[in-house]
């Protein structure tokens, strides 16, 4: 199997991603407006441009885990298990970024990094569900059983994603700490910078998942060669 870096498209993607990450950071630091200009924590609010794209990317990863799980249970094809594992790993990485960037904003906005409000709590539960996914894969026994059980868990765990997204609607406003403002109420500059970073994170996720699947295929081929000997 050829090296991942020997392929032309991944190399082009890597260059584009690096440029977009640098340009996005420059725009956020120097030019972008904050989401709430009246707030007294203007610099902390700029983390919005990374916090929300991290959430979108994590949810995208978990959605792919769910689709891959359904496909694996239906076909038994190892390809879908590899896609599911790679997407779960990267989705959980970006979910961890949510839990890191959120408290940074929360410290400035609420005077404390964490409150047990619905969106934070459901996000933490989501993260822990996928920690359980990896524990299952680590200690689950035979491969087929591991793959099937983790596929089922990945499908079930995804049910928490819409709960996180709709938590502002599911619980009353007096239990919420997150802002109630919608994206439609933001200025065009805020939206343009936000969607630029959203596209950057999405492209980064695709690249990282693609690379991780390549590694998983190499490991599988190595195992097959070892057992063949």
Q: 192-205 pLDDT, tens per residue?
A: 888 999 999 999 99
| 164-200 as b/e: b if 16+ CB within 10 A | beebbeeeeeeeeebeeeeeeebeeebeebbebbbeb
Whole-model pTM? 0.87
CATH of the domain at 48: 1.20.120
More confident residue, 77 or 33: 77
Domain of 161 in residue numbering reads as 4-228
Count of the separate structural domains present in the chain = 1
Residues 125-144, mean pLDDT to the nearest whole number: 91
Lowest mean pLDDT among 8-12, 29-33, 99-103, 218-222: 29-33
């Amino acid at each position: 199997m050829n090296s991942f870096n020997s392929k032309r498209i991944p190399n082009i993607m890597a260059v584009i991603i690096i440029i977009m990450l640098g340009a996005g950071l420059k725009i956020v630091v120097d030019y972008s407006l904050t989401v709430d200009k009246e707030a007294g924590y203007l610099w902390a609010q700029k983390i919005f441009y990374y916090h929300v794209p991290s959430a979108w990317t994590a949810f995208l990863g978990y959605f792919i885990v769910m689709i891959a799980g359904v496909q694996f249970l239906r076909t038994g094809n190892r390809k879908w298990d590899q896609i599911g594992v790679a997407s779960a790993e990267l989705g959980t990485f970006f979910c961890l970024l949510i839990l890191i960037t959120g408290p940074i904003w929360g410290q400035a906005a609420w005077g404390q990094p964490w409150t047990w409000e619905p969106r934070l709590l459901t996000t933490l539960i989501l993260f822990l569900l996928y920690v359980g996914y990896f524990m299952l894969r680590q200690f689950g026994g035979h491969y087929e059983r591991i793959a099937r059980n983790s596929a089922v868990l990945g499908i079930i765990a995804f049910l928490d994603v819409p709960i996180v997204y709709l938590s502002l609607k599911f619980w009353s406003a007096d239990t919420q700490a997150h802002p109630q403002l919608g994206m439609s109420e933001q200025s065009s500059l805020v939206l343009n910078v936000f969607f630029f970073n959203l596209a950057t994170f999405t492209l980064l996720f695709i690249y990282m998942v693609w690379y991780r699947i390549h590694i998983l295929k190499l490991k599988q081929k190595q195992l097959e060669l070892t057992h063949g000997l």
